Amino acid sequence: MSNQPLPAVSFQGVTKRYGVVTAASGVNLDISQGEFFALLGSSGSGKTTLLMLLAGFEKPTEGRVLMSGTSVSDVPPHRRQIGVVFQNYALFPHLTAADNVAYPLKMRRVGRSEREARVNAALGLVNLSDRGSSFPSQLSGGQQQRVALARALVFGPDVLLMDEPLGALDRRLRDQMQLELKRIQGELGITVIYVTHDQSEAMAMANRIGVMSGGRLLQVADPETIYAAPSSHFVARFIGECSILRVAATDGGKGYEIAGARQSLRSPAKDPFDIVVRPENVSIRASVEAASDDAFGVAATVRDITYLGAGWRVALELSDGQSLLASIMRGDDVAGRLAPGLPVVARWAPASVAVLPTEGSS
Contact residues for ligand ADP (CB under 6 A)? Answer: 18, 21, 23, 41, 43-49
83 binds, among ligand ADP, Mg ion, none (CB under 5 to 8 A by kind): none
| Residue 47 C-beta: closest distance to Mg ion, Å | 5
Identify which of residues 48 and 145 has a Cβ nearer to Mg ion in the complex: 48
Identify which of residues 48 and 327 has a Cβ nearer to Mg ion in the complex: 48
> Hey, CA dihedral for 92, 94, 97, 98, is it positive or negative?
negative
Gap between the Cα atoms of 72 and 99, Å rounded: 30
| Residue 48 C-beta: closest distance to Mg ion, Å | 3
| Residue 89 C-beta: closest distance to ligand ADP, Å | 17
243 binds, among ligand ADP, Mg ion, none (CB under 5 to 8 A by kind): none
Cis peptide before 223 (omega within 30 of 0): no
3-state secondary structure of 41: coil
Are 132 and 119 in contact, with CB atoms under 8 Å apart? yes
| Residue 46 C-beta: closest distance to ligand ADP, Å | 4
| H or E stretch at 125 | helix 112-125
Chain contacts with Mg ion (rule: CB under 5 A): 48
Question: Measuring CA to CA, which residue among 281, 267, 291, 273 is closest to residue 325?
Answer: 281
3-state secondary structure of 322: coil
Identify which of residues 126 and 192 has a Cβ nearer to Mg ion in the complex: 192
3-state secondary structure of 106: helix
49 binds, among ligand ADP, Mg ion, none (CB under 5 to 8 A by kind): ligand ADP
Identify which of residues 87 and 264 has a Cβ nearer to ligand ADP in the complex: 87
41 binds, among ligand ADP, Mg ion, none (CB under 5 to 8 A by kind): ligand ADP
- Residue 270 class from Cβ within 10 Å (0-12 exposed, 13-18 middle, 19+ buried)? exposed
Identify which of residues 49 and 145 has a Cβ nearer to ligand ADP in the complex: 49
Q: Where are the beta strands (DSSP E) in 133-197?
A: 159-163, 191-196
185 binds, among Mg ion, ligand ADP, none (CB under 5 to 8 A by kind): none
285-298 burial, b at 16+ Cβ within 10 Å, e below that, comes to bbeeebeeeeebbb
| Residue 24 C-beta: closest distance to Mg ion, Å | 12
Identify which of residues 49 and 96 has a Cβ nearer to ligand ADP in the complex: 49
| Residue 330 C-beta: closest distance to ligand ADP, Å | 39
Task: List the Cα angle 63/4/220 in 5-degree steps.
Answer: 55
